[in-house]
């Protein structure tokens, strides 16, 4: 495989997930450093394009989450500068980052996803919030889950158990974006299934089961070590375990993703598998599930990052 002289890890960005991204970036950098690669961290700022052009790296590892990192923008820039990178191309990122679009594409590929509606902020204003909310509950019932149509780390996301909670959840959601995805809440086992391509095609890794201590896998539960219990592999019956890994692989393929993704799913109490969302730049922090899944599959984290970069460097730009 191609020997890498210099690689860049992209981390930071301007989204509310900047802090998480910086942590992901540092972890990837440290792992690559240990693997003997010369690695620098760069932010998505005014210095990026000149530095990529002046000191062209063999490949870039994008670890920016949220907007820029996952909406395709930074991938377009990397294409414009002719630098190969790990992960999906911009057009695929756009489809995956927009949760309603991703749900539609994945559903078309035969994977169940909770019934939902997607509504911009203006519609509540123009048509009257009460009338819209009444229709949502009449159509989808309760409980519900509300989240921004774009974004991650559970920011602006909250469950809704009663009708009275829905306006609060929608307003909280609008703090992080102007469009809300409101979906039927499925009780069950929450799992994250990562898919990586280390040269043998996209392979789903063992499912990681997520059991947040306080009930909801929110920002605090995600990033406070100890608050959430992770089971790898997930404690699922064999059939469900098989189905979630297949669903993640199919979602990866249906969305045209490349190299690496993480799909969040839920297995209902009846054993049905539902797609929730997919991440094209999954978290790489100490509490993130993709590194856990790599470890469970017998892949050393740094070596896996290195392989992904080597494969990217060999691609024609």
Partner 1 sequence: MSDSARHGNPRPQGSRIDPYFDQYAQRARGMVASEIRALFAVTARPEIVSLAGGSPYVTALPLDVVGDMVGDLVAGQGSVALQYCTAQGDPGLREKICEVMSLEGIKAHPDDVVVTVGSQQALDLITRIFVDPGDVVLAEAPSYVGALGSFAAYQADVVHVQMDDDGLIPEALAETIQRLTSAGRTMKFLYTVPNYQNPAGVTLAAGRRHRILEICRAAGLLVIEDNPYGLLGFDGEPPRALRADDPDGVVYLGTFSKTFAPGVRVGWAAAPSAIRDKLVLAAESAVLCHSSFSQLAVREYLATQPWREQVKAFRELYRQRRDTMLDALSAQMPEGCRWTSPAGGFYVWLRLPDGINSKAMLPRAVSSRVAYVPGTGFYADGSGTDHVRLSYCFPEPDRIREGVRRLAQVIEAEIDLRATFGSVPSLGGPGSDTPGPGDL
Just list the catalytic residues: 17, 153, 223, 262, 264, 277, 279, 283
Q: Which of 2, 6, 161, 235 binds partner 1 (CB under 8 A)?
A: 235
**Which of 190, 230, 253, 256 touches partner 1 (CB under 8 A)?**
230
CB of 118 to partner 1, least distance (A): 17
Of 76 and 303, which CB lies nearer to partner 1 in the complex structure? 303
Q: Report the residue from 224, 271, 272, 317 that binds partner 1 according to the rule CB under 8 A.
A: 224
The 8-class DSSP code of residue 207 comes to P
One of 99, 222, 250, 262 touching partner 1 (CB under 8 A):
222
Tell me, what DSSP letter sits at residue 215?
S
Q: For residues 82 and 199, which CB has a smaller minimum distance to partner 1 in the complex?
A: 199
Say if CB 286 and CB 33 are below 8 A apart. no
Instruction: Count Cα neighbours of 275 within 13 Å in the Cβ-side half-sphere.
Output: 32
Query: Least distance to partner 1 from the beta carbon of 109, Å?
Result: 31
**Are the CB atoms for 67 and 178 separated by under 8 Å?**
no
Q: Are 266 and 276 in contact (CB under 8 A)?
A: yes
DSSP result, 252-276: HHHTT--SEEEEEEEEETTS-EEEE
83, 119, 140, 170: which one binds partner 1 (CB under 8 A): 170
Number of residues counted as binding partner 1 (CB under 8 A)? 54
Task: Give min distance, CB of 245 to partner 1, in A.
Answer: 17
Residues comprising the chain, all counted: 317
Strands (E) located in the chain: 7-10, 39-42, 59-62, 116-120, 144-148, 158-160, 179-184, 188-196, 203-204, 208-212, 228-231, 260-268, 273-279
Window 273-312: residues binding partner 1 (CB under 8 A):
286-287, 292, 294-301
Residue 117 lies near partner 1 (rule: CB under 8 A): no
Question: Of all residues in the chain, what percent are helix, strand and coil, respectively (each to 5)?
Answer: 40, 20, 40
Alpha-carbon gap, residue 201 to 193, rounded angstroms = 16
Window 40 to 69, contacts with partner 1 (CB under 8 A): 43, 45
Among 24, 88, 116, 158, the residue binding partner 1 under the rule CB under 8 A is: 158
Q: Check residue 168 for interaction with partner 1 (CB under 8 A).
A: yes
Smallest distance from partner 1 to CB 299, Å: 6
Tokens of 263: 């799909």
Q: Which residues contact partner 1 (rule: CB under 8 A)?
A: 12, 14-20, 22, 43, 45, 121, 124-125, 129, 155-156, 158, 167-172, 174-176, 211, 218-220, 222-232, 235, 286-287, 292, 294-301
């Amino acid at each position: 495989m191609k020997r890498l002289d210099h690689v860049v890890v992209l981390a930071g960005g301007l989204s509310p997930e900047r802090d998480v991204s910086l942590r992901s970036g540092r972890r990837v950098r440290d792992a690559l450093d240990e693997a003997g690669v010369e690695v620098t961290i760069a932010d998505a700022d005014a210095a990026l394009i000149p530095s990529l052009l002046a000191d062209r790296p063999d490949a870039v590892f994008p670890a920016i989450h949220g907007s820029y990192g996952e909406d395709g923008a930074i991938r377009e820039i990397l294409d414009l500068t002719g630098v190969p990178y790990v992960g999906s191309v911009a057009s695929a990122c756009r489809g995956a980052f927009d949760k309603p679009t991703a749900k539609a594409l994945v559903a078309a590929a035969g994977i169940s996803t909770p019934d939902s509606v997607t509504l911009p902020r203006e519609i509540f204003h123009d048509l009257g919030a009460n009338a819209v909310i009444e229709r949502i509950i009449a159509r989808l019932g309760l409980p519900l889950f509300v989240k921004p149509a774009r974004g991650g780390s559970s920011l602006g996301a909250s469950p809704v158990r009663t009708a009275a909670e829905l306006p609060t959840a929608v307003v909280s959601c609008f703090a992080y974006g102007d469009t809300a995805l409101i979906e039927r809440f499925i009780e069950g086992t929450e799992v994250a299934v990562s898919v990586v391509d280390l040269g043998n095609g996209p392979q789903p890794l063992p499912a990681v089961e997520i059991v947040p201590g306080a009930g909801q896998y929110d920002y605090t539960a995600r990033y406070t070590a100890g608050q959430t219990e992770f089971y790898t592999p997930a404690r699922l019956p064999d059939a469900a375990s098989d189905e979630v890994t297949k669903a993640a692989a199919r979602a990866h393929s249906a969305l045209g993703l490349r190299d690496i993704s993480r799909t969040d799913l839920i297995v209902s109490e009846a054993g049905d598998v539902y797609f929730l969302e997919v991440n094209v730049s999954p978290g790489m922090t100490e509490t993130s599930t993709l590194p856990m899944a790599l470890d469970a599959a017998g892949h050393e984290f740094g070596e896996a990052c290195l392989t992904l970069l080597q494969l990217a460097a060999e691609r024609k730009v």
